[in-house]
Amino acid sequence: MVSRKLAERRATLEKLFEEAGCTGESLTSQKVRSSKEPNVICTLKGNEADAGAIVVGGHFDLVDYGMGAVDDWSGAVLLPSLYQSLKSAPRKHDFVFIAFAAEETGLNGSHEYVRKLTREQRGAIRAMVNLECLGMTPPKVWASRADPSLLEAYWKVVAALKLQMFGVNVERVGDDDTHPFRDAKIPTISIHSITQETFPILHSKRDQVAAIHPEMYYDAYRVAATLLAYLDTTQ
Ligand SMILES: [Zn+2]
């Protein structure tokens, strides 16, 4: 079930992270200026101190219309599953899963996160993978904004999974949580499912669970999980 209430959405994410094994000091929240809700952050430690970190994000806030099921519960709720998939095998990098608050009001959550990083922490982030509006169509990538080497990795993963390669640039949609990371010179990539046809679903009352196709959503999960595992070996 998807709730419209921000506090319930946050509580559900925390519960899912805990159920996936992200508990104690691994699961934290970060206060966000001008937002009642914090960022929810789950950290999965890697085995190599110098390997750096890979950030995975999705936002849990929504606009006043619809259920915000696609935009962006679909991305945020995938984070605990991705945590679980990565946890099962040893990894080099730290993985930081962030359910961002207040994206729709001006990327406040992601801005806050990047702003609070020390210079050293910024330099240690090898990639930021953003999950935005998944499952309306097969997985797509915002190719024009993606870091070239992350985009190359993405295409390799899509080919290996025998999925069709779709690059759809969504400048029309405006912006997403990769923006503050790109400004900080951190390589980013956004996975989504937005097309000309599905774009009108966003920020409308049609943004419901029914707009998400389970098999396409599952493909988005497979792409994201495989990409993260792949980046752990290459970044
Ligand atoms: Zn969004």
Cis, bond preceding 72 (omega within 30 deg of 0): yes
pLDDT given at position 172: 64
- Residue 76 CA to ligand 1 center (angstroms) comes to 10
Contacts of 75 (CB under 8 A, 6+ apart): 57, 58, 59, 130, 131, 132, 133, 134
- The predicted structure's pLDDT at residue 26: 98
Contact 53, 95 (CB under 8 A): yes
Q: What is the pLDDT of residue 173?
A: 65
CA of 94 to the centre of ligand 1 (A): 25
Closest CA to 191 of 229, 122, 145, 125: 145
Confidence of residue 212 (pLDDT cuts 50, 70, 90): very high
Whole-number pLDDT of residue 228: 98
Distance 166 CA to ligand 1 centre (A): 19
Q: Return the number of other C-beta atoms located less than 10 Å from residue 31's C-beta.
A: 12
Q: Check if the beta carbon of residue 133 is closer than 8 Å to that of residue 206.
A: no
- What's the 48 CA to ligand 1 centre distance in angstroms? 33
104 CA to middle of ligand 1, Å?
A: 7
75-91 pLDDT tens trace: 999 999 999 999 999 99
d(CA 227, CA 77): 17
In the chain, % helix, strand, coil (3-state, to 5) comes to 45, 15, 40
* pLDDT tens-digit map of 158-202: 999 999 888 888 766 678 999 999 999 999 999 999 998 999 999
Structure tokens at 23: 């508990």
Q: Mapping DSSP to helix (H, G, I), strand (E, B) and coil, where does residue 25 land?
A: helix
High-pLDDT (> 70) share of the chain, %: 99
Q: Counting Cβ atoms within 10 Å, is residue 51 exposed (0-12), middle (13-18) or buried (19+)?
A: middle
Per-residue pLDDT tens over the stretch 18-76 = 999 999 999 999 999 989 999 999 999 999 989 999 999 999 999 999 999 999 999 99
C-alpha 78 – ligand 1 centre gap (Å): 14
Q: Which residue has the tokens 């995975």?
A: 56
- The pLDDT of residue 78: 98
Residue-averaged pLDDT of the chain: 95
Q: Is the pLDDT at 222 greater than 90, yes or no?
A: yes
The identity of residue 91, as a single letter, is: R
